[in-house]
Amino acid sequence: MASKTVQAELPEKIYDQIKVLVDEGWFTSDKDVITEALRRFLETHKPELMAKFVREDVEWGLYGKD
Amino acid sequence: MERTDAAPIQTAILDAGPIIHLDELGCLPLLSDFHELLVPVAVWKEVERHRPSAISADQITFIKQQAPVLSSALYALCEAFNLDRGEREALAVCHIRAGAILFTDDAAVRLAAKAAGVRAYGTLGILIRAIRQRQRTPAEVIRMLEQIPSQTTLFIRKSLLQKIIEEVRASSE
């Protein structure tokens, strides 16, 4: 699979949690943890899904009953 | 702006996002017509850490709510959507407060809420509702919507925000 290199700063606490997962053998590298975490985030943050929720907000805001 | 025709007022359970985003806009009082505003303990701590002024504001009364233990079904749902502690507590509180509205700006939480049969809306809904509830004029709400990109940490596509503003404007004409 083609890949891109991204450089990003992480809060130390998050990095420590990543390190625990790798050190305990749940993942083979920090790259794998970050890729899996991002994959799961992206599954639930698809643009069309977020737009749908915004639409629901507008509908409720303008025409809701409560 | 005075309210003249009261709509049903109920319990709202809050995730951190809307508390923080409304405070960034100086709009927390828009929540004041809800019967009670429940903030799960983990969410409370999260807001205290990121924006303490929001939770300590004397303009609105939040109730710190201990969350019950998650049922196994709800636990599975939270795992599937990879929800954090505050988000899990918010859903757990919804579970014992049938009919309450959940306010969250997180898409994963909204998906999980839907699966759990909980109604959920976000900061945008609360802002726009202010027109219907006659808490703010349409012009005031449009101004608040326009301030979202520069004043808040709420992420929304600019073109979509513009579309919403146009819709709000059109609905008030």
Q: What is the pTM of this model?
A: 0.85
For B11-40, what is each residue's pLDDT tens digit? Answer: 999 999 999 999 999 999 999 999 999 999
- Beta strand B63-65 with B11-14 is unpaired
Element (H, E) at B40: strand B36-40
For A1-54, what is each residue's pLDDT tens digit? Answer: 788 998 999 999 899 999 999 999 999 999 999 998 898 888 877 888 899 999
ipTM (interface predicted TM): 0.90
B57 touches chain A (CB under 8 A): no
CB-CB contact of B85 with B117 (8 Å): no
The label of the residue with tokens 């504001």 reads: B57
Is residue B7 scored above 80 in pLDDT? no
What is the tally of structural domains in chain A?
1
> Which residues on chain A are in Cβ contact (under 8 Å) with B121?
56-57, 60-61
Cα separation of B114 and B109, whole Å? 8
For B112-149, what is each residue's pLDDT tens digit? Answer: 999 999 999 999 999 999 999 999 999 999 999 999 99
Residue in B20, B14, B24, B26 with CA at minimum distance from that of residue B50: B20
Residue in B41, B48, A49 with CA at minimum distance from that of residue B19: B48
Domains and CATH numbers, chain B: 11-123 (3.40.50.1010), 125-171 (no CATH)
* Domain extent at residue A45: 12-61
A58 touches chain B (CB under 8 A): yes
For B39-92, what is each residue's pLDDT tens digit? Answer: 999 999 999 999 999 998 777 999 999 999 999 999 999 988 889 999 999 999
Residue A5: inside a domain: no
Q: Find which of A46, A55, A58 to mutate to test the B interface (most B CBs within 10 Å of its CB).
A: A58
